[in-house]
Homo-oligomer: A and B are copies of this chain.
Amino acid sequence: MKQTKRKQLETKGWKIGTAADFLGLTPEEAFIEMKMSLSRSLKEMRQRKHLSQTAFAKLIKSSQSRVAKMETGSASVSIDLLIKSLLALGASQKDLAKAIRSKSKVA
């Protein structure tokens, strides 16, 4: 739905589906977006610390392959793991909140 139309409806007292789909995202899509966002944040933080995937994997007692999967947004990675990893890198809850909100670039 277009922004303009939504605004018109809202000023007329309509309450349209909330939120998650404000930008046209279904809950599932929003969920995926969030994962991708966390993925990117993780990669950025790791690189900023000059850690290889292997070194980081050791740090969080995981494996290089799983770190790679985290950073490429593989479906086999849970948000739990992403968040635990980010926290291990020193991310604050504030950082995570920010990461969750940042959108992915569509090109």
Interface residues of A (CB under 8 A from B): 17-20, 22, 27, 30-31, 33-34, 78-80, 83-84, 87-88, 90-98, 100-101
A-side binding surface: helix, strand, loop or mixed? Answer: helix
- Selected from B18, B31, B95, the residue in CB contact (under 8 A) with A92 is B18
B residues in contact with A80, CB < 8 Å: 31, 78-80
B residues in contact with A18, CB < 8 Å: 90-92
The 10 closest A-B pairs by CB, nearest first: A19-B92, A27-B87, A18-B90, A97-B97, A97-B101, A79-B80, A97-B100, A20-B87, A79-B79, A78-B80
Counting every copy of the chain, the complex holds 2
- Can you spell out 10 A-B residue pairs with CB atoms less than 8 angstroms apart? A20-B91, A22-B92, A30-B93, A31-B83, A79-B80, A80-B80, A93-B101, A94-B101, A97-B97, A100-B100
B residues in contact with A31, CB < 8 Å: 80, 83-84, 87
In the bound complex, how far is the Cα of B37 from the Cα of A93, in angstroms?
A: 11
